[in-house]
Copies of this chain bind each other. A is one copy, B any other.
Amino acid sequence: MTQLLAAREGRITPEMVEVARQEGVDPEFIRAGVAAGTIVIPKNRLRKGVRTCAIGRGLRTKVNALIGTSSDRDDPEMEARKIEVAISAGADAIMDLSTGGDIDGMRRVSLERSTVPVGSVPIYQAGIEAIEKRGGIVAMTPEDMFEAIEKQAAAGIDFMAIHCALNFEVVERLQKTGRVTDIVSRGGAFLTGWMLHNRQENPLYEDFDRVLDILRKYDVTLSLGDAIRPGCIADSLDGSQIQGLLVAGELVARARERGVQVMVEGPGHVPIHHVETTMLLQKQLCHQAPYFVLGTLAIDVAPGYDHITAAIGGALAGASGADFICYVTPAEHLGLPTEEDVRVGVMAARIAAHAADIAKGVKGAWEWDLKMARARASLDREAVASLAIDPALVRCYLEKEKEELCSACGDACALRLVAEYFQQ
């Protein structure tokens, strides 16, 4: 039985109790949200020893980090260290996107090392193995796709990005509408190439019930992959994006019907005046399913700083209803992230998520900043450090100073002056 089926029967599972405790809400609030499909708890039935979290309406905005090997860099130990860096920086979940070397072995490492939910994108493995076994991605068989999903579910993966909401309606809309960057989703590109080459509908759409049956068996949460997300702000809110949302909405209803927990993946590159509309449309068309955004990136022109463009977009997206933010590192659009990139990417996404949580009125969010403000007003350096989103970084700064919390103003510190004069 999945969390969704249990919730619908009125049962409060141990996972619901645990996430309710984390969020400081009533377990019944979680149960009702899971039953309604506005909250998901990504936890594979087979997985043990994981710090479960819940994603969705009324809850703290969560942050996801990406790791994984590629053909250019196949170093599982480095990826394992990135997992540890991401989790210690505060990531709520990680996704293993490996496409290089021993993909099964890397996944075992990810599941062993991660204390938080682990996601994957099974079509990557299916596509890469089709190149090796059959000479090309387009030679992949539908069985290859389903087998990859089943294998990864059986291994314990908690949530999967699967591009079921890509079909010929979407591809044709894309061809009719035209775009600057066509398709930037890797899984979307694998499948679109496959569909066009084989003149065959996407098996993950056509045989969606088979996908659902596998996921239900393990209670893997489905993340409907955003195959046609805009890859530049000029493509934002175009016809193909909306067509994709219409199909996603259809599949959200079918997943829930079959007892499978489901969230929806979203953009991508979104100018800030499009963010609110993008979030509202997703929530309306996808029946209030949790929204998992990749960024969103506010501008296209800042490669090397995309953790910042994504913090701008992510904060706004979260404030407008996004529930789960995928981090973007400084290496985005340029290469694979280093361990330091992973740390900075998680911090930037957490900053965006917290800014959103304050706007959303999430429990405890405002109070955190209030404590920090009081620590600053009383010039309490230890409290400032321990309340900071990155205490180690603040301590590192403070060690360089002698006695003061901050050395910027020297004798002309406004806080000290006010304490001296104003409060007489």
Which A residues have a C-beta under 8 Å from some C-beta of B? Answer: 70-73, 99-100, 124, 127-128, 131, 137-138, 180-186, 188-190, 192-194, 196-197, 231-235, 271-273, 298-305, 307-309, 311-312, 315-316, 319, 331-336, 347-348, 351-352, 354-356, 358-359, 366, 368-370, 372-374, 376-377, 384, 387-390, 393-394, 397-398, 400-401, 406-415, 417-418, 420-424
Nearest Cβ on chain B to A377's Cβ, whole angstroms:
5
Closest to A373 in B: B232
Are the CB atoms of B397 and A334 closer together than 8 Å? yes
CA distance A342 to B401 in the complex (A): 19
CA distance A327 to B407 in the complex (A): 18
B residues less than 8 Å from A410 (CB atoms): 70-73, 99-100
Nearest Cβ on chain B to A334's Cβ, whole angstroms:
4
**Chain A: interface secondary structure?**
helix
Max count, chain B CB within 10 A of own CB: residue among A182, A185, A335:
A335
B residues less than 8 Å from A193 (CB atoms): 417-418, 420-422
Nearest Cβ on chain B to A401's Cβ, whole angstroms:
6
Are the CB atoms of B231 and A394 closer together than 8 Å? no
29 contacts between A and B (CB under 8 A): A71-B411, A99-B411, A180-B373, A180-B374, A182-B423, A183-B414, A186-B412, A188-B414, A190-B417, A196-B422, A232-B373, A232-B376, A232-B377, A233-B373, A234-B369, A272-B316, A299-B354, A299-B355, A299-B358, A300-B372, A302-B390, A303-B393, A305-B348, A305-B389, A305-B393, A312-B312, A316-B316, A335-B400, A336-B407
